[in-house]
């Protein structure tokens, strides 16, 4: 069997033509189609209905998890950027021991920097499928004060 490589991004006509060849190959082998699985692209539903009629169609779980992981890591990056922008601006040097405001800002800046480091280093905990109790405890500590990240983790727990 010869395969044709497209010189353009696939479109509905390409998917319809491929589906027609696939349907012919199945018929030649007397195979019965139970349903089709795709990667969730918007290219597939219409050509699939055109070629195969009303058939069970599911999206590949791998691709669903892949997109979900990308979205979560993107949200983590956005949260890190938001935290980085909220870091108070400090004067150069060490704050004077009498300047309580400068000392408070320095402590606040240090806490935010630690949270940024933790969120970056432990970001895998947000997308890990199953968390042992020690990792869950670490994640709760890291996401304290950042409810958006904890919500993302709760979504992953239900998958």
- SS3 string of the chain? CCCCCCCCCCCHHHHHHHHHHHHHHHHHCCCCCCCEEECCCCCCHHHHHHHHCCCCEEECHHHHHHHHHHHHHHHHHHHHHHHHHCCCCCCCCCCCCCCHHHHHHHHHHHHHHHHHHHHHHCHHHHCCCCCCHHHHHHHHHHCCCCHHHHHHHHHHHCC
Structure tokens at 94: 């060490």
Same domain for 42 and 103, yes or no, is no
Q: Residue 7 domain-assigned?
A: no
Q: Residue 3 domain-assigned?
A: no
Same domain for 70 and 52, yes or no, is no
89-126 pLDDT, tens digit per residue, is: 877 888 787 888 888 888 888 888 888 888 788 877 77
Same domain for 40 and 110, yes or no, is no
57-80 pLDDT, tens digit per residue, is: 888 888 888 888 888 788 888 888
- Distance, CA of 4 to CA of 125 (rounded, Å): 42
- 20, 39, 59: which is the final residue of a domain? 59
Q: Which domain holds residue 73?
A: 62-157
Q: How does residue 1 score in pLDDT terms, banded at 50, 70 and 90?
A: very low
Asked whether the beta carbons of 131 and 139 are under 8 A apart, the reply is yes
Asked whether the beta carbons of 33 and 67 are under 8 A apart, the reply is no
Same domain for 105 and 151, yes or no, is yes
Q: Residue 35 domain-assigned?
A: yes
Q: Residue 38 domain-assigned?
A: yes
Same domain for 21 and 68, yes or no, is no
Same domain for 74 and 127, yes or no, is yes
Same domain for 49 and 80, yes or no, is no
Report how many domains make up the chain: 2
Same domain for 103 and 53, yes or no, is no
**Cα–Cα distances in angstroms (integers) from residue 23 to residues 15, 41, 59, in the given order:** 12, 20, 19
Q: How does residue 55 score in pLDDT terms, banded at 50, 70 and 90?
A: confident
Residue 30's pLDDT is 93
Q: Residue 6 domain-assigned?
A: no
Using a pLDDT cut of 70, give the percent of the chain over it: 89
Same domain for 55 and 66, yes or no, is no
């Amino acid at each position: 069997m010869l395969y044709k490589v497209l010189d353009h991004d696939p479109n509905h006509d390409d998917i319809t033509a491929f589906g027609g060849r696939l349907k012919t190959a199945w018929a030649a082998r007397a195979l019965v189609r139970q349903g089709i699985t795709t990667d969730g692209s918007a290219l597939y539903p219409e050509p699939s209905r055109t070629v195969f009629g009303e058939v069970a169609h599911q999206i590949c779980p791998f691709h669903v998890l892949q997109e979900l992981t990308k979205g979560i890591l993107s949200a983590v990056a956005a949260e890190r950027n938001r935290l980085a922008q909220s870091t108070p601006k400090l004067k150069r040097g060490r704050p004077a021991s009498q300047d309580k405001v400068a000392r408070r800002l320095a402590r606040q800046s240090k806490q935010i920097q630690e949270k940024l480091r933790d969120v970056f280093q432990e970001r895998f905990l947000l997308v890990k499928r199953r968390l042992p109790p020690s990792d869950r405890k670490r994640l709760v500590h890291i996401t304290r004060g950042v409810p958006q990240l904890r919500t993302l983790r709760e979504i992953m727990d239900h998958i």
